[in-house]
Amino acid sequence: MSDKYRVVLAKEDFSPDECELIKQLAGFDENAPDQKAELDRCLYDYLVFQNNYVFASKKIRTDLEILELDYRVKYEHRILKSIDGRIKSVKSICGKLEKKNLPLTLANASAVLSDIAGIRVICHYMRDIYEIKERLLAQDNVSLIKMADYIQNPKPSGYRSLHLIVSTSVHLANQNLEVPVEIQLRTVAMDSWAGLEHVLKYKNPNGVSDEISEQLSDCADVISDTDAKMQEIYRSLFGRHSE
């Protein structure tokens, strides 16, 4: 996930390929008398749709940055190492709707996709992941929709991370909206495994043998043991500010 999210202020920012998909999502009317105006209407609708997720990401990201700064000042502790994010591309949105056998519409996208806005938080220690979760969910403007704890319950692949789907309110020019954001929290070690496995297996169109899958899962177990040991070393040297 590179830091790709940006506020799109102009319809001209969309590529020709994206425009074709946006026409489908926004229900382009082939019989509209003014085809150029109809295309503009579709691009505008998509622009407004996408920016809601950009705005929600910015709010959550700011909350996380404030936490990071305050922990540094009050406890001299780096509660998180980095924050990364992305907004799901038009192509991925359409791909996921197709996978779910749903018509390509903006209404379907906002109703069933909870990871259009995605934020990834990388921590040094496992305990920090849960502390960030607690602090974030204690905020008035953030409510939990769904949590998947793949640290306590790793995926069969060996994948570990804490996934939160939260909802945050975005105050717009003409209305207030609740917008979902997916937050993935993981340690540096978990992130390095996930990054490699993503290419080697998760997104590998050819698949991999059971033996390779097992080896990858073994690597994840070793990494998890190391995380636990590093956590213990940290605790023995510095204790915890909250203890």
List residues binding ligand GTP (CB under 6 A): 115, 148, 155, 157, 159, 163, 194, 197-198, 202
Nearer to ligand GTP, 108 or 169 (CB): 108
- Binding span for Mg ion by CB under 5 A among 27-35, 105-113, 115-123, 134-142: 115-123
- Smallest gap from residue 115 Cβ to Mg ion (A): 4
- Smallest gap from residue 33 Cβ to ligand GTP (A): 40
Residue 115 in contact with Mg ion, rule: CB under 5 A: yes
Q: Which does 108 bind (CB under 5 to 8 A by kind): Mg ion, ligand GTP, none?
A: none
Nearer to ligand GTP, 23 or 184 (CB): 184
Nearer to Mg ion, 118 or 158 (CB): 118
- Smallest gap from residue 118 Cβ to Mg ion (A): 7
Residue 97 in contact with Mg ion, rule: CB under 5 A: no
Residue 109 in contact with Mg ion, rule: CB under 5 A: no
* CB proximity list for 1: less than 8 A, separation 6 or greater: 84, 85, 86, 118, 120
Nearer to ligand GTP, 102 or 148 (CB): 148
Where on the chain is the footprint of Mg ion (CB under 5 A)?
115
